[in-house]
Amino acid sequence: MNPALRCHRCEERYEDPARVRCACGEPLWFESDAETFDWADCRERDGMWRYESLLPIDRPDGIARAAGGTPLVRSERLDDAAGCRAYVKDEGEQPTGAYKDRGSAVAVPHAVEAGGGAVGTVSYGNMAMSTAAHAASLGRECVVLVPDDIPPVRLALIDQYDPTIVRVDGDYGALYGDALDLSTRLPIAILVSDAPARISGYKTALFEICEAFAPDAPDALVLPASSGGFASGIWLGIRDLEAAGLLPDPPRVYLVQTVAGDPLTRAFDAGETDPTPLGPDETGETIAHSIGNPDPPSGARALAAVRDTGGAVVSVDDDEIRAAQRRFAVDGGFCVEPASAASLAGASRLSERGEIADDDEVVLIPTGTGFKEMGADGASVTTERTTRASLPDRLASLLDAA
């Protein structure tokens, strides 16, 4: 199997499977033979490998087999907060707790197949954990480039898979460009957010959602966006299913950003096809640290996905994100990280604006679990307190009051 790569913008085609960027500058994605694809052809494969025929590699060994197959839950009690008929595609239920595993499950084995050498990534969050876990399960050396001031708890999360962790002092944002260059000069494949094989893996989230709704489709999808990689994968999935004739009425793709760093929202509002990178004075602090890339490498492709499907991009602030995170847990039973809670906060905004109607079937995509960070704020939790002897009476009065 050796599928070609294509540019979403200028349609240029490349045969070199190691190529990541088009001559025009845009990131590439893999083609697949989607025209002949049908749901009936999907074999009973583990998780996302159900759609193996549309992926650029055969099902690999290792933890990659556990990626995908996440639950899609109709969650009536979230309807009020979301302003629609809410479904939740819980991407926190992946081997390392984030949708990134769909991408790593394809990109890491793809790089391993391509030859010797290490794999690596530039991340101190979910991308780092996911890449390190997949490399570990294939017995491949992994190098993770992190910022020098990385918080210790994140270091511990990444370190459990025993990659070589390199703290890099300097402009961490600029490392993305350096990484592409290092991959061509050293025996290492640095798999960042827009590695074409990752985007192939991400499209399986869309396949799982659409197969669950088939022959209908949800009215809309709402997901957080940062680099635009996941949004690109969702769009590639939509294009595949359209080519297969399985998606007559594709869902509108809505992306949610944080006001602390929202180049996609700004570009969307300004009617621009390409985001303008944000300067240091245009970004701020946020609890949603998985989103807020000031210079999203797949930004143009994410914006094209939104426009092509009739969606929009919105930004939410930390207060809205905190409230949505609480609603996810209290009304839905989902533990999601702040960036993921932005999906619900964004849906609220969109329904206020009239973009989403209350009878629309909308799939919220919380991209990552909240379990990784829970506990840091334990001091502010309200509890009851009693002795063992007085517990029965205390409990009786609490249950009375409830």
Ligand X SMILES: *Cc1c(COP(=O)(O)O)cnc(C)c1O
Binding site for Zn ion (CB under 5 A): 7, 9-10, 12, 22, 24, 26
Contact criterion met (CB below 8 Å) for 5 and 196: yes
Q: Which CB atom, from 53 or from 131, has the smaller least distance to ligand X? A: 131
312-316 vs 252-258, strand pairing mode: parallel
Task: Please report which helix (H) or strand (E) contains residue 316, including its range.
Answer: strand 312-316
Token pair in block for residue 254: 């809505």
Part in contact with ligand X (CB under 6 A); list of ranges 44-52, 65-73, 109-117, 221-229: 221-229
Minimum gap (Å) between residue 265 Cβ and Zn ion: 25
Contact criterion met (CB below 8 Å) for 202 and 234: yes
Q: Which CB atom, from 23 or from 330, has the smaller least distance to Zn ion? A: 23
Per-residue contact string for residues 97-136; x = within reach of ligand X by CB under 6 A: -x-x------------------------xx----------
Q: Which CB atom, from 7 or from 199, has the smaller least distance to Zn ion? A: 7
Which residues between 311 and 340 bind ligand X (CB under 6 A)?
337, 339-340
Q: Which CB atom, from 231 or from 246, has the smaller least distance to ligand X? A: 231
214 secondary structure, DSSP code: T
Q: Which CB atom, from 53 or from 123, has the smaller least distance to ligand X? A: 123
Minimum gap (Å) between residue 359 Cβ and ligand X: 28
224 contacts ligand X (rule: CB under 6 A): yes
Closest to 231 measured CA to CA, from 385, 85, 343, 125: 343
Could you tell me the CA-to-CA distances from 253 to 213, 219, 232, 302, 394 in Å, in that order?
16, 9, 10, 9, 50
For residue 255, list its beta bridge partners: 223, 313
Part in contact with ligand X (CB under 6 A); list of ranges 47-55, 148-156, 218-226, 243-251: 218-226
63 secondary structure, DSSP code: G
268 contacts ligand X (rule: CB under 6 A): no
- Residue 368, classed as helix, strand or coil, is strand
Measure the CA–CA gap between 227 and 103, rounded to whole angstroms.
14
**Residues lying near ligand X in the complex (CB under 6 A):** 98, 100, 125-126, 193, 224-231, 290-291, 337, 339-340, 367-368
